[in-house]
Amino acid sequence: MKALLVCDYREGKLLDTTYELIAFADKLGVAKAAVLVGSEAAVPQFDGTVYLAEASALGEYNPAAHKAAILAAAEKEQPDYIVFCHSSYGWDMAPRVAAGLKAGQVTEVTALVDGGFEVGCCNAKMRRSIKPATAKTVLTIQAGAFTAVQPAGSATVVKLDIPADSKGVSFSGYEPAEAKGVDLTKAEVIVSAGRGVGKKDNIPLIAELAKALGGELGASRPVVDSGWVEHSHQVGTTGQTVSPKLYVACGISGAIQHLAGMKKSDFVVAINKDKDAPIGEVADVLVVADVLQFVPALTAQLQK
Amino acid sequence: MKILVCIKQVPDMESRFKPSGDGLWFDETDLAWRMNEYDEYAVEQAVQLKEQLGNEPELTVLSIGPDRVVEAVKKALAMGADKAVHVQDPAAHQKDSWQIASIIAGYAKDKGFDLIFTGMQSQDRGSAQVGVLVAELLDIACATTLVGFSYSDGVVNVKRELEGGLKGLVTLQLPALVTCQLGLNVPRYPTLPNIMKAKKKEIEAIPVANLLSEQAVAPTAGFYPPARKGGGVVLEGDVADLAQKLVGILREKTTVVR
């Protein structure tokens, strides 16, 4: 069995998540080759073949040409699995490659289970196992679910010559993230507000708890999108990835994108009305209570 | 211009889920249903585009499923869609993304849609495949996870959400399909007059057998709750007692509370 690993590359660099793909292939126990639409300087370190198409010629986002490159590598390697990170790149590209190969796709694999792959569903409250019915399978793997290997080895580079046809899609560049007002990555304590806080007027309650614990205010994505808290406080895949000594999640259900940004915290307290909320999975303590009642009580207790 | 919006009806995510009898999906008993959140952004963006173009575009909304999905369809009509297609399929939940995409593409292939909007994924299944697969099957331009959308003179400019707050700027030539992400817009609440008006709008019913020709390629083998992380403590009861208990635990287990 063999896996073709599709590297993540952006702004001229290989992304470290590529090494999670190698870890996943090792866990599957299959041979591996990789394909990179990038540059020679960004070829990942491992012992195997890397098919390289030049991003300078094709563009960093050019789905039709990237698909052609990945299919060309798949044609040469005849892999059983074509594996992407479940990143903005894999999200976009995997179904295109699956369609090209008429292959089944399993999205955001979190674990291997008896003859199949496990994924989250129902907002991460439940799990589903999937057994693909096609000879080739396209997979995307959840960020952080398979711990990256240390880069080691030297790859044999095989260059691919892919026409730069873009089929009506043209990429014009990146818009940078808003300047970070708060560096949450250095905070020892983070107290984050989620949708369960209810409205913007209730944010000060959460900020007071953060202050009482000597920490910073964090927030989940819906809270930031609603304009209750500014973006620099956002924790999760599209915000900051944090690992404080104490993380307190207030009214946060625990979408996978949020969990990926905070699950390496040393100690996690979740306050949620819903006992089944997925945040409970990563919580050391789950307090089943109304955030608006419990948080002021906790702040008062700490100030005693 | 002709616009298609594809929507799915999903359970409220606050629900408690339990496996159905066959162990392959959830039991529908006692679930409340609503339009998939990401599809609401898709409907809203399509309606905004229709308004921008002086109401000229014809906006069709499509949903696949049993009769209950008509409720979600009616909401989209009340938000501003002109007409609807209900692909009748009591067993839609057993179909994989490939089959669902094939059904949509089968409907759309000869209709000449200039723009197709979908959510970036469903909240219940979360496969994030259907939109892209429809674009592949129709061989049209596609971009995913939109947090920005603008249209002028036959060209669509979008912002794709990438990691860490970065956004990718992409231009699409029509025809095109886009998948919509949280943050793209704020979906409107249908007004009462619009809800009344929606009742008169056409909902075409098409049996799924007329459109389905594909087998599943990634069938579900099991559906079950996640294994709980060992050692997690669950505290329930009186709020003041809970606060005291929690402070005790934090003093013992962490170095940040003294």
Give me the CATH number covering residue A205. 3.40.50.1220
Binary contact (B239, A87; C-beta < 8 A): no
Residue B64 lies inside a defined structural domain of this protein: yes
What CATH number does the domain containing A100 carry?
3.40.50.620
pLDDT tens-digit readout, B23-79: 999 999 999 999 999 999 999 999 999 999 999 999 999 999 999 999 999 999 999
d(CA B5, CA B40): 10
All residues of chain B having their beta carbon less than 8 Å from the beta carbon of residue A173 are 168-169
Q: Given phi > 0 = left and psi -120 to 50 = alpha, else beta, which region is B76?
A: alpha
Q: Are residues A145 and A190 in the same domain?
A: no
User: What tokens appear for B116 in the block?
Assistant: 């197709």
Q: How many domains does chain A have?
A: 2
Contact at 8 Å (CB) between B176 and B138? no
Asked whether residue A154 falls in the same domain as residue A10, the answer is: yes
Domain, as residue range, for B125: 2-210
Which of 103-142 (A) contact B at CB < 8 A? 103-108, 113, 115-116, 119-134, 137
User: Residue A148 and residue A7: Cα distance in Å, rounded?
Assistant: 13
Do both A118 and A194 map to the same domain? no
| 0.95 exceeded by pTM | no
Query: For strand B83-88 and strand B58-65, is the pairing parallel, antiparallel, or unpaired?
Result: parallel
Helix B239-253 to helix A291-303 angle (10° resolution) is: 60
Question: Under an 8 A CB cutoff, do B165 and A178 touch?
Answer: yes
In a domain, B230, yes or no: no
Alpha-carbon span A48 to A116, nearest angstrom: 25
Strands B167-173 vs B155-161: parallel, antiparallel or unpaired:
antiparallel
- In terms of domains, do A12 and A154 share one? yes
How far apart are the C-alpha atoms of A47 and B2, rounded to whole Å?
Answer: 51
Mark whether A196 and A135 lie in a shared domain. Answer: no
Opening angle at CA B10, ends B7 and B13, nearest 5? 135
In a domain, A118, yes or no: yes
Q: What share of chain A is helix, strand, coil (3-state, %, to 5)?
A: 30, 30, 40
Task: pLDDT tens for chain A, 304 residues: list them.
Answer: 999 999 999 999 999 999 999 999 999 999 999 999 999 999 999 999 999 999 999 999 999 999 999 999 999 999 999 999 999 999 999 999 999 999 999 999 999 998 799 999 998 889 999 999 999 999 999 988 899 999 999 999 999 999 988 889 999 999 998 766 788 988 999 999 999 999 999 999 999 999 999 999 999 999 998 889 988 899 998 888 899 999 999 999 998 889 989 988 999 999 999 988 889 888 999 999 999 999 999 999 999 8
Question: Who contacts A16 (Cβ-Cβ below 8 Å, separation ≥6)?
Answer: A148
For chain B, the domain total comes to 1
Tell me whether residue A67 is in a domain.
yes
Contact B185, B41 (CB under 8 A): yes
Q: Is residue A266 part of a domain?
A: yes
Domain co-membership, A6 together with A139:
yes
Strands (E), B134-232: 141-152, 155-161, 167-173, 176-180, 203-207, 220-224
Quick check: is B252 in a domain?
no
What is the C-alpha separation between A173 and A241, in angstroms, rounded?
24
CA distance B70 to chain A (A): 21
In a domain, A279, yes or no: yes
Instruction: Tell how strand A49-54 and strand A81-85 pair up.
Output: unpaired
- Could you give the ipTM of this predicted complex? 0.92
A216-219: strand order across its sheet: A216-219, A189-193, A246-250, A267-272, A285-288, B233-236
Lookup result for tokens 């580079």: A157
B196-230: per-residue pLDDT in tens? 999 999 999 999 999 999 999 999 999 999 876 65
Closest CA to A37 of A174, A160, A155: A160
Q: Which chain B residues are Cβ-neighbours of A95 within 8 angstroms?
A: 97, 128-129, 132-133, 136
SS3 A254: coil
Give the integer Cα–Cα distance in Å for A106 and A101.
14
Nearest 5 degrees, angle CA A149-CA A39-CA A176? 85
CA dihedral (A142, A146, A148, A153) positive or negative: negative
What is the rounded CA–CA span in Å between residue A237 and residue A261?
Answer: 6
Query: What is d(CA A215, CA A184) in angstroms, rounded to the nearest whole number?
Result: 9
- Position A72 in a domain: yes
Q: Encoding tokens for residue A219?
A: 């927030």
Q: What is the pLDDT of residues A239-251, one digit of tens each?
A: 888 999 999 999 9
Q: Between chains, do A278 and B220 touch, taking CB under 8 Å as contact?
A: no
Instruction: Kindly tell me the number of DSSP H helices and DSSP E strands found in chain B.
Output: 6, 13
DSSP state of B225: P
**Residue A245 C-alpha, separation from nearest chain B C-alpha, in angstroms:** 7
**Would you say residue A69 lies in a domain?**
yes
* CB contact residues (below 8 A), chain A span 252-281, against chain B: 253, 266-267, 269, 274-276, 278, 280-281
**A281 lies in the same domain as A192:** yes
Q: State how far the Cα of A102 lies from the Cα of A135, in Å rounded to an integer.
A: 10
A interface test, pick of B120, B127, B180, B251 with most A CB neighbours within 10 Å: B127
- Tell me the residue range of the domain where A283 lies: 184-303
Q: Is residue A166 part of a domain?
A: no
- Is B244 a domain residue? no
Residue B102 lies in a domain: yes
Alpha-carbon distance of B191 to B194, in angstroms, equals 5
Query: How many residues are there in chain A?
Result: 304
Tell me how far apart the alpha carbons of residues B231 and A168 are, in angstroms, rounded to a whole number.
53
Instruction: Tell me, yes or no, whether A17 and A148 share the same domain.
Output: yes
Instruction: State pLDDT tens for residues B91-106.
Output: 999 999 999 999 999 9
Whether residues A98 and A52 fall in one domain? yes
Integer Cα distance of B211 and B102 in angstroms: 8
Structural domain contains residue A150: yes
- Phi, psi angles (nearest 5°) of residue A245: -70, -30
Closest-CA residue to B217 (of A38, A61, A9, A102): A102
Tally of CB atoms within 10 A around A58: 23
Tell me the nearest-neighbour CA distance from A156 into chain B, angstroms.
29
A160-193 burial, b at 16+ Cβ within 10 Å, e below that, comes to bebeeebbbbbbeebbebeeeebebeebebbbbb
> How confident is the model over A196-253, as pLDDT tens digits?
999 999 999 999 999 999 999 999 999 998 889 988 899 998 888 899 999 999 999 9
Structure tokens at B255: 């170095």
Of the candidates A28, A278, A34, A257, the residue with the CA atom closest to the CA atom of residue A132: A28
For the stretch B64-81, what's the b/e string if a residue is b when 16 or more beta carbons lie within 10 angstroms of its beta carbon? bbeeebbebbbbbbbbbb
CATH number of the structural domain spanning residue B160: 3.40.50.620
